[in-house]
Amino acid sequence: MTTAPDLAAAAEELGRFLGLGEPANAAATARALADPKFARALAGTSKLPDLVQRLLHDPRNEAFLTVHADQSDGVSQTLVLAGRAAGALASWTKDGLKRASPDVIARRLDACGSCAFRAPAPDTMAFRAVRKVMGPDVEICSICSCVIRAKAAIPGETCPTQDPEDSGLSLWGEPWKPDL
């Protein structure tokens, strides 16, 4: 689960990418991480400041933040799309918010499709917001809590599980990165 400091780092990265001169707001950052279409819309309008501002302040962005008052560490604000948000956004923005190639996406989705860690997204307020954007059958990786369809499309993303038959690879068949 991504905590507020990670969201702040992601917001800073997004603000830099968009040339805002300041971090993007938290709700828009959360939505950009959960919703690749929204992120690409932002990227596509980055030279049109008025449109960027409209997207950044779209009232629907708020649904992508949720409050977990019962968290014992006192961090109450969490990102809807849990995972290594700041790192993922940093690498994605460096790639110009491009999608991974269709072959890569298909290979990753194929691996996730037969993985024991694939799970339906829980029925929480946060994922209800994600369902509104991505449809009813949202599935997550239960190791990193990322939405599988979004995660697989981001070039720099990685599978968090080592292949038991090849310690150099993840279950996606990509180089294993143990520090993630």
28, 42, 160, 176: which one contacts ligand SF4 (CB under 6 A)? 160
112, 129, 130, 150: which one contacts ligand SF4 (CB under 6 A)? 112
56 binds ligand SF4 (CB under 6 A): no
The three-state (H, E, C) secondary structure of the chain, written as one string:
CCEHHHHHHHHHHHHHHHCCCCCCCHHHHHHHHHCHHHHHHHHHCCCCHHHHHHHHCCHHHHHHEEECCCCCCCCCEEECCCCCHHHHHHHHHHCCCCCCCHHHHHHHHHHHHCCCCEEECCCCHHHHHHHHHHCCCCEEECCCCCEHHHHHHCCCCCCCCEECCEEEEECCCCECCCCC
141, 147, 150, 154: which one contacts ligand SF4 (CB under 6 A)? 141
CB atoms within 10 A of CB 136: 8
Q: How far is the CB of 146 from ligand SF4 (least distance, A)?
A: 7
3, 53, 91, 161: which one contacts ligand SF4 (CB under 6 A)? 161
Q: How far is the CB of 171 from ligand SF4 (least distance, A)?
A: 4
143, 162, 163, 169: which one contacts ligand SF4 (CB under 6 A)? 143
Nearest CA to 36 among 167, 136, 130, 159? 130
169 binds ligand SF4 (CB under 6 A): no
Binding window for ligand SF4 (CB under 6 A); candidates: 3-11, 22-30, 80-88, 159-167: 159-167
Binding window for ligand SF4 (CB under 6 A); candidates: 12-20, 36-44, 49-57, 115-123: 115-123
171 binds ligand SF4 (CB under 6 A): yes
Residues in contact with ligand SF4 by the rule CB under 6 A = 111-112, 115, 117-118, 141, 143, 148, 159-161, 171-172
